[in-house]
Amino acid sequence: MNQTRRNFCRIGGAAVLTAAVSGCSSSESTQGAQNAEPDASEAILLPDQPIIDPHHHLWKHSSRSGPYLTPDLLVDLDSGHNILATVFVECGSEYRTTGPDEMKTLGEVEFVIEASQNTPRIAQAIVARADLRLGDDVIPVLEGLIETGQGRVRGLRQSTAYDPAPIFYGKTLPKDFKDLALNPDFRRGFAHLSRLGLSFDAWCLHPNIPDITDLASAFGDTPIVLDHIGSPLGVGPYAGRQQEVFDHWRTSMTALAERPNVSLKFGGLGMPFLGAPLFQENSELRSSETLAALWKPWFDVCIDLFGADRIMFESNFPVDMVNCSYATLWNAMKRLAMPASEDERNALFKDVAARFYHIEIA
């Protein structure tokens, strides 16, 4: 089902949107995001659409926001959409404070296992972190993550995001992130993922996408998913150059899409360093219609290149809560998918994520 955008857009129509609006009232649609106000005007679209959220975080502390823990996530999950399962993605949270440095990331998996007790929807799959630059010495770390995760660690993420400008919330990313996906030691460690049944979440910035393409070519047996559509930048030296960034991003994505082992997460577009408009000051702008209109050019390219059977919608919460609530974000995704067939919508909202992360839904 490699549906292109041209065919995708012919399916369905505006009538689907009208029929999709549920009868839930604003009082029934609450949300847990601390940085976004409730969206009282938003009714839930396609309320029965099954969803796997393949990308969220949990943390006790954050330099940019308050804590986001299981109770906060549960409020968001229960805000009106039919969220069947979630995938926790590493975020540097609750590392061990003692023991060998390379094993400290196991603390994050321990934290997530404890945080998701008695909440079967949460973290049905876990994307953990290890330093692949350890080369062959990363094997005991990977095996430790798998054991600690009690069968739920399905993948690994190590950031390959780099730009020399101070674009990351006004900070410069570590220089050792530069060309990380091309680093020979990193690749020696990466070579062990497939044997252990692990996938790789690639978080990079749009100038780094060619490095991920090269990585995918070198390791065709390792499933890779590109997070946040490659994070097209919109601040610092990239501010005011959206068309140039878009063209550069599209060219890089065209080459990446030729690698059959690569899938795509569509989301994360609310992060400030991407130049996303911030809607806190004007609640009238913070709507799913506005978000869908902003995201549509990017989505059209993604559908054209990857098809619905290689794309999974993601929330990237709580990071993206700066722009909107959880309920509004999923409404925006549903607006983007309105022209799709039922099979294509199921692929975008749950099937691709279930297949990639080996999640079984009854």
> Containing H/E element for 126?
strand 125-128
Q: Which residue has the tokens 């973290």?
A: 123
Q: Rounded to a whole number, what is the distance in angstroms from the first to the last CA of the chain?
A: 23
Residues 6+ apart with CB under 8 A from 7: none
Q: Sheet holding 262-266: strands in order across?
A: 50-56, 82-89, 125-128, 153-157, 199-202, 224-226, 262-266, 311-313
- How many alpha carbons fall within 13 Å on the CB side of residue 21? 10
- pTM for this predicted structure: 0.90
Rounded to whole angstroms, the Cα distance separating 176 from 268 reads 24
pLDDT in tens, the chain (362 residues): 444 543 554 333 332 322 233 322 222 222 333 444 445 568 999 999 999 999 999 999 866 668 999 999 999 999 999 999 999 999 999 999 999 999 999 999 999 999 999 999 999 999 999 999 999 999 999 999 999 999 999 999 999 999 999 988 778 888 989 999 999 999 999 999 999 999 999 999 999 999 999 999 999 999 999 999 999 999 999 999 999 999 999 999 999 999 999 999 999 998 888 887 665 555 556 799 999 999 999 999 999 999 999 999 999 999 999 889 999 999 999 999 999 999 999 999 999 999 999 999 87
Under a CB-based contact definition with an 8 Å cutoff, are residues 109 and 73 in contact?
A: no
Q: What is the DSSP letter of 205?
A: -
Residues 6+ apart with CB under 8 A from 240: none
Rounded to whole angstroms, the Cα distance separating 197 from 58 reads 24
Q: Is the peptide bond before 318 cis (omega within 30 degrees of 0)?
A: yes
- CATH fold group of domain 5-357: TIM Barrel (3.20.20)
Under a CB-based contact definition with an 8 Å cutoff, are residues 155 and 125 in contact?
A: yes
Q: What is the CA radius of gyration of the chain?
A: 19
- Helices 242-257, 288-306: axis angle to 10 degrees equals 40
State how far Cα 185 lies from the chain centre. Answer: 26
DSSP states along 60-111? S--SSS--B-HHHHHHHHTSSSEEEEEEEE--S-S--SSS-GGGTTHHHHHH
3-state SS class at 52: strand
- How many alpha carbons fall within 13 Å on the CB side of residue 116? 23
> Which residues are registered as beta bridge partners of 155?
127, 199
Q: What residue type is assigned to position 115 of the chain?
A: A
CA-based nearest residue to 128, from 357, 361, 359, 362: 357
Tokens coding 10: 């012919």
3-state SS class at 270: coil
Q: Which residue has the tokens 């030729």?
A: 258
**Residue 87, Cβ neighbours under 10 Å: how many?**
27
Domain map of the chain by residue range? 5-357
> Which residues are registered as beta bridge partners of 50?
82
Rounded to whole angstroms, the Cα distance separating 257 from 245 reads 18
Q: What residue type is assigned to position 244 of the chain?
A: E
Rounded to whole angstroms, the Cα distance separating 48 from 31 reads 18
Per-residue confidence (pLDDT) for residue 23, from 0 to 100: 29
